[in-house]
């Protein structure tokens, strides 16, 4: 399979994603949140680009919804939860519909609606994603959400890990950027020694959210594959 | 100084390059050609986007001009030289005006005309470029020409080398992508062990142009800084 990579939400190109298996990665933290919420029993996650859309959609039957997300890495006024995956515990999200809006991740997901299959990936479910990609047997584009339209080291190494897993289990044809991501992972299999230099990592750290960082860097702890279809993310 | 990097000619953004010191890199091979031609006495190099523009510009006084460049890595019909730096010897280019059109490099140069300073860099003049950047004392954006609008490993590691040189001699503030380029260089100081995996490297190799590759991967053999101003590249 051919494997390509897009470095940020600003760089998404319809030509590149159309008809492909696309994996959107925003490991710090949107796609880690989505994966965690679904693993803890949320019925589905509905991503919105704006706070206004999220509030409008949930205003009737508000109690059925959990509103989560961030702007500038902090919780949005009137929302239930922030963009911390550790907040999305079973007691809060089980059987609920989670409404999400974040700065980078939801934008990346919405930008790839022309994909054939649109999967939601993070370090915490990387192996499950790689397995599903192989089952789908289609060309793949990893879409890194990035940070504010910029390349982000955390998403890049996360894609690199998945590409490494694919290479171990299938014949792969890598573009230069996909090769480079894999190469970065191979030289930093612990992840943290690379990510510790990322700007976004340090912003989250400066907000006192080290626990989030520790959680999001864990490999393969969840065996689920969230996918986006008709505006909703389910497993 | 702040240091950012743009991964291909397709990703050039006017907002990012405006007012900055921009270094355009197409080490395989356009910026290696330009640097070599000027080092061997060419009066100037004039880049054009299209073959038609190049022919039109040079049709009067044809003997004063050397026409060089490539499409699909091979020489253009009616041109004097291809995109091989080794062809631009003193006997041919001394005191001549070189007209260039290439698939990626000239497009990248033309895309950055709003830069404050627009330098032309390659491995062969990396140290000279780094020294000039420090003298100019301005924020820097490395613009990788890439290949057909895509990220290219050769340009990425070349920028990484220059960023490494800057870090050794100045206070630098690196974006994630600039950090990653430097990091790739640090783990492959020989250059070739990384570039050998690049698609573009292998295309050039398949054309039997190993000598070009060997030349373009040499570090710091030329001590000149070509710069672009008013449509022309001089030193």
Q: Residue B68 contacts by C-beta under 8 Å, 6 or more apart in sequence?
A: B33, B37, B79, B80, B81, B82, B83, B87, B88, B98, B99, B100
pLDDT number for residue A132 = 98
CATH for B2-39+103-229, among 3.30.465.10, 3.90.1560.10, 3.10.20.600, 4.10.910.10? 3.90.1560.10
Establish, for the pair of chains A and B, how many residue pairs have beta carbons separated by less than 8 Å: 57
Which residue numbers in chain B have pLDDT < 50? Answer: none
The domain ranges of chain A are: 2-234
**Alpha carbon distance A181, A158 (integer Å):** 8
Tell me the two tokens of residue A16.
Answer: 């590149």
B81-84 own/partner pairs: CB under 8 Å, 24+ apart = B83/B29, B83/B30, B83/B33, B84/B29, B84/B33, B84/B209, B84/B212
Min Cα distance A44 → chain B (Å) is: 33
Check CB contact under 8 Å for B176 and A199.
yes
Which residue numbers in chain A have pLDDT < 70? Answer: none
Digit-coded pLDDT (tens) for A181-230: 999 999 999 999 999 999 999 999 999 999 999 999 999 999 999 999 99
Which residue from B11, B197, B200 is facing A179, i.e. has the nearest CB? Answer: B197
pLDDT number for residue A73 = 85
Nearest CA in chain A to B11: A11
Residues written for chain B: 235
Could you tell me if B176 lies within 8 Å of chain A, comparing CB atoms?
yes
Homologous superfamily of the A2-234 domain (CATH): ComB-like (3.90.1560.10)
Min Cα distance A221 → chain B (Å) is: 27
- For testing contact with chain B, the best of A144, A155, A180 (most B CBs within 10 A): A180
Tell me the two tokens of residue B87.
Answer: 């062809």
Q: Which residues of A touch B179 (CB under 8 A)?
A: 153, 197
Do A189 and A92 meet the contact criterion of CB atoms below 8 Å apart?
no
pLDDT number for residue B220 = 98
Q: What percent of chain A has pLDDT over 90?
A: 95
pLDDT number for residue A235 = 95
């Amino acid at each position: 399979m051919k494997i390509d990579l897009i470095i940020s939400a600003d760089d998404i190109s319809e030509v590149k994603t159309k008809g492909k298996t696309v994996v959107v990665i925003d490991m710090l933290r949107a796609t880690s949140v989505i994966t965690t919420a679904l693993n803890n029993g949320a019925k589905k996650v509905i991503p919105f680009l704006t706070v206004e859309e999220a509030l409008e959609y949930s205003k009737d039957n508000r109690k059925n919804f959990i509103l989560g997300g961030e702007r500038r890495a902090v919780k949005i006024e009137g929302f239930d939860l922030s963009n911390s995956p550790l907040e999305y515990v079973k007691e809060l999200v089980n059987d609920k519909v989670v409404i999400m809006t974040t700065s980078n991740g939801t934008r990346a997901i919405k930008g790839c609606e022309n994909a054939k299959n649109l999967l939601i990936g993070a370090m915490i479910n990387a192996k499950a994603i790689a397995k599903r990609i192989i089952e789908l047997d289609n060309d793949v584009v990893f879409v890194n959400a990035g940070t504010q339209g910029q390349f982000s080291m955390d998403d890049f190494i996360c894609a690199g890990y998945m590409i490494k897993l694919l290479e171990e289990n299938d014949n792969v044809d890598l573009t230069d950027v996909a090769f480079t991501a894999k190469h970065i992972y191979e030289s930093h299999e612990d992840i943290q020694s690379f990510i510790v230099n990322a700007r976004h990592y340090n912003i989250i750290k400066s907000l006192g959210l080290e626990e989030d960082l520790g959680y999001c860097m864990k490999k393969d702890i969840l065996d689920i594959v969230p996918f986006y279809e008709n505006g909703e993310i389910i497993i």
